[in-house]
Amino acid sequence: QVQLVESGGGLVQARDSLRVSCASSARTFSMYTMGWFRQAPGKEREFVAAINRSGGGTLYADSVKGRFTISRDNAKNTVYLQMNILKPEDTAVYYCAASYYSSNYNNEGTYVYWGQGTQVTVSS
């Protein structure tokens, strides 16, 4: 069983920056594609960003492209999401997830392990 623990969420103002992190207990962390998803109140969970095993390939939702950056440090078993120019519509619980697959990064059905989430609130 792989545990994922998110941290770094909080309350910020519009146009601020925030970095959330996700630490994994997996000894084979580098074998997983890692993704970030979010769920706003009253809405379905949606894909935000994903990164392949080596960190050399990334995918972003159109709504965050150019503002968010996903990265990973396989030596630290950690994946990050740097969020810049935050907007009130970015307010959500942010979840990290791990997948065995090397494709379909934006399909949450391919992710087998999930963290508990961290709240990000952006005020206007």
Q: Tell me, what's the pLDDT at 26?
A: 83
How far is Cα 33 from Cα 80, in angstroms, rounded to an integer? 13
Beta-carbon count within 10 A of 60 CB: 20
pLDDT per residue over 73-120, tens digit each?
999 999 999 999 999 999 999 999 999 988 778 999 999 999 999 999
Tell me the chain's radius of gyration from C-alpha atoms. 13
pLDDT digits (tens, 9 = 90+) for 12-53: 999 999 999 999 998 899 999 999 999 999 999 999 999 999
3-state SS assignment for residue 110: helix
Pull the structure tokens for residue 103.
Answer: 């494709």
pLDDT of residue 68: 98
- CA pair distance 104, 88, nearest whole angstrom: 28
Q: How far apart are CA 109 and CA 89, in angstroms?
A: 24
